[in-house]
Structure 1
Amino acid sequence: MKLTEFFKEHPKVAVAFSGGVDSSYLLYAAKKSGAQVHAYYVKSAFQPQFELDDAKRLAKDISIDMTILPVDILQKDVISNPSNRCYYCKRHIFQTIMQQAHQDGYTVLLDGTNASDDSSDRPGMVALKELSVLSPLRLCGLTKAEIRRRSKEAGLFTWNKPAYACLATRIPTGHPITSDILERTEWAENYLFSLGFTDFRVRLLENSARLQFPKEQLEQVLQHRKQIVQTLKTRYDHILLDLEVRHE
């Protein structure tokens, strides 16, 4: 199936929009195919501000209506941080979107899961299946690489945006999630962004920061080592550099 065929079958859709590569292209493809489409962005403690800023920019660029839904994601099943935390998080987020979308007259909800995403180890995908959320990029066999290629051709600024998982993924399974930890993580990552780094993670290890960077940025990290340590140690006990480098 092609995306144009999908949207002929589903001409009126709501899209769970994160501001990332996949859901951005999905919105673009829906509009280009002539579908009536509305974007829903969930703002919670798990999403940094730049994701909302990117979502607003993309929606404006392609003239898509977007609703921002504030959600208190720090519920009991989520903050205990079990191994299937994503299941509870996804259910809460998508039920919120579905409720609003139905009030707005949309009965079909889409998400940006693509054909490269491994469903075997993603509890969140179980929640999407239970809620009958459709993933047209996956259904149409579009991989991450293909979505980036098409996004670039379409002139979407998100085409080369690094993959970005929510802030909760920086906290080890079983470690309680708090708003303070999430805020500190966002602060640390914003600082590293300001130095020009991209596609990195600041992970919590007890009360230390474990920094993961792509290998091509390691030399730059060492050049900024002193100031990174001085700044981050104002809010962490130790600053650790992970030599098992990041891969998308």
Structure 2
Amino acid sequence: MGESGLVRLRDLLAGKRELLISYSGGLDSSFLASVARDVLGDRLICVMLDSRLVPRSELAMAEKRAQEMGIAYQVISVDPLSSPEFCASPANRCYLCKKIMCRALREEAARLGIEYVADGLNSSDFCDYRPGIHASEEERIWHPLVEAGMSKGDIRTAARDLGMEFWDQPASACLASRIPYSEPITAEGLARVEASEDFLRSIGFSGFRVRAHGSLARIEVSKDQMHHILENGQEVVEGLRRVGFSYVTLDLAGYRTGSMNEVLRDGVPGDWHASPRGAPQRR
């Protein structure tokens, strides 16, 4: 897609009088916010949705980046844990959470008198189980990167070509993605995962996840880092036990995004591949 996708994106943004962007500080929403700032100027506002699903380090990084980019932003607190249905962690938990988030964005847009609310969804996001996409569609969230035909690879290339320092930022996901389906999502469990990942980051690891199976921590790291985990095994075990885990394991399959979805491959709802007009569909 390359340059044509970026040109298309700018044209789409230029057609909006004002825009509210759901901003997380991740690659996709940061790229969209940066391009929208250049097109819309002060007719753009970014909104960060803060909850116990968001690591404190990511929130701080997102705020710092918005300030560095000179983008108007605000932080709104939401509480998905107030929903018993979400906390039960069903297979459609992403839908339930996204519904809460999108409604918060819509309410803030209405308060500000802004018609269009956009997010950083891109065409590559349709390659995994993403029921939250349905919720965003129901709440009329606009996906300009999808409409511009841009994939994750296109975004990285365009961001690099535009000199955006975050062009190679790794993927991130909410803390609930570390909890298995059907296991309750609690504030304590989320905090334990966050503390575990903060600890591993503090001793030099990157590109990993700590998946919480009750009192057992399953560490996913890239295969080239596995020997480092084993070499520092005692320190890793002690660190994760300090934050509340009883058992610490290493996943030999290595780090991969969305690994909790692997148990759903044969049992996901039949329409999970549904997508906005013009986007690819997973069949």
TM over 0.5: yes
CA distance in 1 between counterparts of 2:14 and 2:22 reads 19
SS of 1:236's partner is coil
CA distance in 2 between counterparts of 1:156 and 1:184 reads 33
Question: Does 2:88 match 1:80?
Answer: yes
Match of residue 37 from structure 2: 31
Question: Does 2:159 match 1:159?
Answer: no
Question: Does 2:57 match 1:63?
Answer: no
Question: For the Cα contact (< 8 Å) 2:220–2:256, is it kept in 1?
Answer: no
Any idea what the Cα deviations from partners look like across 1:164-218, whole Å, max 9, x if unmatched?
A: 1100011110111110000011000000010111121101123100000011211
Instruction: Give the aligned length.
Output: 248
Match of residue 213 from structure 1: 221
SS of 1:209's partner is strand
Question: Does 2:254 match 1:245?
Answer: yes
Q: Which moved more, 1:235-244 or 1:1-10?
A: 1-10
Question: Does 2:9 match 1:3?
Answer: yes
Percent sequence identity over matched residues? Answer: 32
SS of 1:165's partner is coil
**1:131-146 matches, cutoff 5 A:** 131-146=139-154
Any idea what the Cα deviations from partners look like across 1:54-109, whole Å, max 9, x if unmatched?
A: 21122111111111001111011210111000111001011111111221121100
Match of residue 230 from structure 1: 238
Question: For the Cα contact (< 8 Å) 1:162–1:198, is it kept in 2?
Answer: no
Match of residue 200 from structure 1: 208
Question: For the Cα contact (< 8 Å) 1:110–1:133, is it kept in 2?
Answer: yes
CA distance in 2 between counterparts of 1:233 and 1:54 reads 27
Match of residue 179 from structure 1: 187
Question: For the Cα contact (< 8 Å) 1:14–1:110, is it kept in 2?
Answer: yes
CA distance in 1 between counterparts of 2:140 and 2:241 reads 45
Q: Which runs of 5+ in 2 are unaligned?
A: 258-283
Query: Which amino acid in 2 is paired with 1:54?
Result: M
Residue 213 to residue 120, structure 1, CA distance change in 2 (3 Å): closer
Query: Which amino acid in 2 is paired with 1:23?
Result: S
TM-score scaled by length of structure 1: 0.96
Q: Which of 48, 61, 67 is the matching residue for 1:54?
A: 61
Query: Which amino acid in 1 is paired with 2:62?
Result: A
Match of residue 278 from structure 2: none
Question: For the Cα contact (< 8 Å) 1:43–1:52, is it kept in 2?
Answer: yes
CA distance in 1 between counterparts of 2:223 and 2:92 reads 30
Query: Which amino acid in 2 is paired with 1:187?
Result: A
SS of 1:69's partner is strand
Query: Which amino acid in 2 is paired with 1:64?
Result: I
Residue 4 to residue 55, structure 1, CA distance change in 2 (3 Å): same
Question: For the Cα contact (< 8 Å) 1:164–1:199, is it kept in 2?
Answer: no
Query: Which amino acid in 1 is paired with 2:102?
Result: F
Q: Which moved more, 1:217-226 or 1:171-180?
A: 217-226
Question: Does 2:110 match 1:99?
Answer: no
Question: For the Cα contact (< 8 Å) 2:117–2:141, is it kept in 1?
Answer: yes
Query: Which amino acid in 2 is paired with 1:239?
Result: V
Query: Which amino acid in 2 is paired with 1:15?
Result: I
Indicate the RMSD between aligned Cα atoms, in angstroms: 1.4
SS of 1:158's partner is coil
Question: For the Cα contact (< 8 Å) 2:18–2:40, is it kept in 1?
Answer: no
Any idea what the Cα deviations from partners look like across 1:89-137, whole Å, max 9, x if unmatched?
A: 0010111111112211211000000111116721100001101101111
Runs (4+) of structure 1 exceeding 4 A deviation are none
CA distance in 2 between counterparts of 1:156 and 1:221 reads 32
Q: Which runs of 5+ in 1 are unaligned?
A: none
CA distance in 2 between counterparts of 1:184 and 1:206 reads 11
Q: Which of 138, 142, 157 is the matching residue for 1:130?
A: 138
Question: For the Cα contact (< 8 Å) 2:207–2:222, is it kept in 1?
Answer: yes
Question: Does 2:23 match 1:17?
Answer: yes
